[in-house]
Amino acid sequence: MVDFIASPLFNGLFTAMVVFLFTTGLTLIFGILRVLNFAHGGFFMIGAYVAFTLVRAVGAQTSVLGYIGVSIVAGIVTGLCGIVVERVIFRPLQKVDESYSLIATYALLLITEGAVKSIWGVSFHSVAPPDVMNGAVFAGNLVMPIYALVIIALGVLSYALLEWILQHTETGKLMKSVASDPWMAGMLGVNVPRFYTYLVVAGFFMAGVAGGLLLPNQTLSPNLASTFVIQAFGALIVGGMGNIRGTFLAAILLCVVDSFGSLYFPAVPGLLFYIAMTLALLFRPQGLIAGARI
């Protein structure tokens, strides 16, 4: 029971929260700006490298507060990058067809990879979780690493916070109105260009924070940018193309199914992820949560 249900369920939930944390900034930017940001992984990677540099500077991650602090600093760095990207790339893309954003942001992804190689090189690096997160909780045969429990908690908290902001605050209502009709929002006095800048900064900040938070889970290399691309775009599409709630549910659905697949069909790892995605699109082509942006 534990080995064949609880363990893959737990591991699937962990991966789902990893994917969700990675995808939040991507979802937010696509939901409002309709820019499919292929470079999102690049800024996630830069966040991870900034966090790695900070961790190495102090020797090792020793406390949870330090771990979160380092991640926030990484987010601030990528958020600042977001200001430049919004001005130079995203703003001109507002005036052209959405398909141009694919080419422009893919080019940006290549630039981020080149920048990482120039600054940090091509070697592999690894960072362990803070000492207090290094162990595991044992429930019978079920092993739950503390780091995984923290990531699951952070994923759920992030979702709850975003939901609260979107549904219950003035900022959230403003975001929905701009996403729904930017022209009308502008007519009613919203400074839409500035709003877009804030939004891109927020999206890039989230990418950087995710890079820092997930640093102990992945190997650092210039290939990190594309590590989560398939899962992230899968969750984004199945979730309803730019809907935070949909992305959250889709990440759980796809990753839990994939986790069971890796246990029961080990000869074809990853296959169930694609089958689940295909079925979801066949039966819910509009996405799990349709009709509403973000």
Which SS3 state, helix, strand or coil, does residue 78 take? helix
Residues in Cβ contact with 152 at an 8 Å cutoff, skipping those fewer than 6 apart: 13, 14, 17
Is 189 exposed, middle or buried, given 0-12, 13-18 or 19+ CB atoms closer than 10 A? exposed
Do residues 6 and 74 lie in contact, with contact meaning Cβ atoms separated by under 8 Å?
no
Stretch that binds other proteins, among 39-47, 205-213, 223-231, 235-243 (CB under 8 A): 223-231
Whichever of 5 and 84 has its CB closer to other proteins, that residue is: 5
Does 3 bind other proteins (CB under 8 A)? Our answer is yes
- Contact letters (x/-) for other proteins, 157-196, by CB under 8 A? ----------------------------------------
User: What whole-number distance in Å separates Cα of residue 72 and Cα of residue 207?
Assistant: 10
> In terms of CB distance, is 63 or 134 closer to other proteins?
134
Contact 214, 95 (CB under 8 A): no
- Positions in 239-278 near other proteins (CB under 8 A): 259, 262-263, 266-267, 269-270
Q: State which of residues 135, 139, 160, 187 lies at the interface with other proteins (CB under 8 A).
A: 135
Q: Please tell me the distance from the alpha carbon of residue 171 to that of residue 139, in angstroms, as a whole number.
A: 42
- Tell me the closest approach of the beta carbon of residue 74 to other proteins, in angstroms: 18
Q: Give the whole-angstrom CA distance, residue 281 versus residue 237.
A: 8
Tell me the closest approach of the beta carbon of residue 42 to other proteins, in angstroms.
15
Q: Which of 94, 177, 197, 217: binder of other proteins (CB under 8 A)?
A: 217
Number of residues that bind other proteins (CB under 8 A): 45
Q: Are 134 and 63 in contact (CB under 8 A)?
A: no
- Smallest gap from residue 20 Cβ to other proteins (A): 14
The region that residue 97 occupies, defined by phi over 0 for left and psi between -120 and 50 for alpha, beta otherwise, is beta
Binding site for other proteins (CB under 8 A): 3, 7-8, 11, 14-15, 18, 117-118, 120-126, 128-129, 134-136, 141, 143, 145-148, 216-223, 227-228, 231, 259, 262-263, 266-267, 269-270
